[in-house]
Amino acid sequence: MMTTITGHGSITCVRRDTPLQRKGCATTCRFITATVLLTALAVLASASMSAQGKPATDKTPQQARPAGAASDWSSTPTSERAFKVKLEFNRWHDVAELQADMRTLEKAYPKFLKYISLGKSYGGRDIAAMIVNNPDTGADTTKPGMYIEANIHGNEIQGGEVCTYTIWYLMENYGKLDRITRLVDERAFYIVPTVNPDGRDYFMHGPGGNARSGHLPVDDDNDYQFDEDGPEDLNGNGVIEQIRKYVPGQGTHRKSAVDPRAVEPVKPGDVGDYVLLGQEGVDHDGDGRVGEDGVGSYDPNRNYPADWQPNYVQGGAMDYPFQLPEAKAVNDFLLAHPNVAGLQTYHNSGGMILRSPGAEQTGEYPAADVRVYDEIGRNGERMLPFYRYLVIWSGLYTVHGGVTDWGNDTLGILSFSNELWNGGQYFTSPELKEQQKDPESPIAPRVANYFFNDYLEFGDEVTEWKAFKHPQFGDVEIGGAFRKTFGRVPPRFMNEELCHRNMAFTLYQADEMPQMSMGEAKVEKIADGIFKVWVDLVNNKVTPTILAKAAMNNVVPPDLLTIDGKGVDVLSASWVPSKWRPGVAPMIDQKDLKRIMVRNGQPGHSTRTVQFLVKGTGSITVKYASVKGGTVQKSIALQ
């Protein structure tokens, strides 16, 4: 039922615009009439007060608005935080732009950020890095350190954006998100957006061919010439494309029936109309090959000493470890920062969270270390859809002399390598995955990339075949290639999610680096001047202060447990098997019980209780110092 009020105050009860004639309506109408009359009297009184100069409401005329008008919230602070520094993560940056962004961040957050250079690349470019640390909570070298690098391979560019995103996110959310604030207060971060600036700029400014390598000259084809016959962009469109020649009825390939831009081999016994002549370029040294000796052509991630093998075993390894200036600069920095307890090196692609060993022959890691890697890696799979947690040699391929083996085996650093981007992310829903099983589908695997290019990239990523007069092959067609930014890197509009998820995984690893603290302390008087002292040593994180492999290799200094007090002697010290169940505590058999070396460190997720028998009075200070887990101490009164 509705009530309609006419301009003269008459009232009609209606339902669906039809007057009601039922008897029960009279009572309702009388009630509504009384209500309306009272409202009218209130309005008249308000108008009378206004006429006498008294405000009718507590609002100014500008604030008053007609009944039912939309509220004006423009003066109310937004719930969405504004960014202090605005950076772009939906496009790729060359070296100068990356470094400019880092400088901008340093200028905006000078207390927390310090821009440094690890050294120079072969081409003379700075290997720029950022130290993220809160000096109010201590120097960076006194805290567990997280080393994050990217772009060791020049064409694997998106890791550079993940690194700058990480710096930006830590700063923009410090003091706003408790977990980010705690991370910056408790940890130090060393972030290197591009370890291979020569390769990155060659990829960004050149056509992309041979950009994986660094730029130290190498003779790839053993003709005593260096880098003389690389891929060339003959038609000047910025892409290294394919060359095909039209030979009707004499070829090995034909146009694809599904998409004519693609060529496919003919079945045995059939003939096609095209032959493929390789990638775009010219045979400069007359050996009948095109593009076989381009810039560099080695692998920068095969030049580290851990399980290094010569070129005839591991291609691209160079002549000896640390021959490359970029690898040596990274090593020098890590040796100068033994507090680094976590390492992440971003690569592409395939969607993987990788750990060493890189080669089966080196053997699996100790079970205690594998448990740590497994916990972090499997949680990483939950954070990174389409990524799998794998061991390098069994899940990818054999790698000798890689940086993760060097980090784990020789520096005692828990080391991961994320292969950024998975091609399965182009079509993600279960329905689309089901469609891809149909070979005739427009998103079947062999043509799916063309569909994505046409409908989501608007044709930006594929080059069309065009006629070309080749100086050696005559009349040919050049084209049929995806641009250098397709396939191994995500579409630009999908990159920010990639940055955030991978950053989140790496910050999770950083949070799980060892973090020593002192727990409960208890004192019991045995006799005059003789006391038993119990102290709990705590590491609530998953990573131990010393990895089992590092302890086996003696590559990390022992943790030190010290006790200090004026006139205090330590008569004995022992590890208590269980503080909740009294029993015999094994003695610590070391000469100097005021300075106990803990060679295996403090395990992850553990509390260990040490028991001292001391002679003296006053107070003592118990300190636990770990190179990778930090230093903590506690003062205890002997009473």
pLDDT tens readout for residues 319-342: 999 999 999 999 999 999 999 999
pLDDT for residue 459 is more than 80: yes
Helix (H) or strand (E) holding 172: helix 158-172
Taking domain 516-637, whether its CATH number is 3.40.50.10490 is answered by no
Q: What is the mean pLDDT of residues 493-520?
A: 97
39 or 507: whose pLDDT is higher?
507
Please check whether the two domains, 95-203+299-352+366-421+492-511 and 516-637, share a CATH topology. no
pLDDT tens readout for residues 275-310: 999 888 898 887 778 877 677 789 999 999 999 999
pLDDT for residue 180 is more than 90: yes
Which of 124-133, 202-211, 471-480 is predicted most confidently?
A: 124-133
Sign of CA dihedral 61, 63, 68, 70: positive
pLDDT for residue 314 is more than 80: yes
Q: How many residues does the chain have?
A: 639
Question: What pTM, to 2 d.p., does this model score?
Answer: 0.86
Domain ranges, ordered by start, for the chain: 2-48, 95-203+299-352+366-421+492-511, 232-293+435-486, 516-637
Q: Which residues contact 317 (CB under 8 A, 6 or more apart)?
A: 298, 299, 302, 303, 308, 309, 310, 311, 400, 401
Strand order in the sheet with 145-150: 113-120, 126-132, 188-192, 145-150, 340-348, 414-420, 352-355, 388-391
Q: Which residues contact 145 (CB under 8 A, 6 or more apart)?
A: 187, 188, 189, 190, 337, 339, 340, 341, 342
Does the bond joining 357 to the residue before it have cis omega, within 30 degrees of 0? yes
pLDDT tens readout for residues 551-584: 999 999 999 999 999 999 999 999 998 777 777 7
pLDDT tens readout for residues 56-111: 444 444 555 555 556 677 777 777 888 999 999 999 999 999 999 999 999 999 99
pLDDT tier at 353 (50, 70, 90 boundaries)?
very high
Helix (H) or strand (E) holding 170: helix 158-172
As a whole number of angstroms, the distance between CA 632 and CA 617 comes to: 23
- CATH class, domain 95-203+299-352+366-421+492-511, is alpha beta
Q: Which residues contact 174 (CB under 8 A, 6 or more apart)?
A: 112, 180, 181, 184
pLDDT at residue number 615? 97
221 or 383: whose pLDDT is higher?
383
pLDDT at residue number 391? 98
Question: 335 phi and psi, to 5 degrees?
Answer: -65, -30
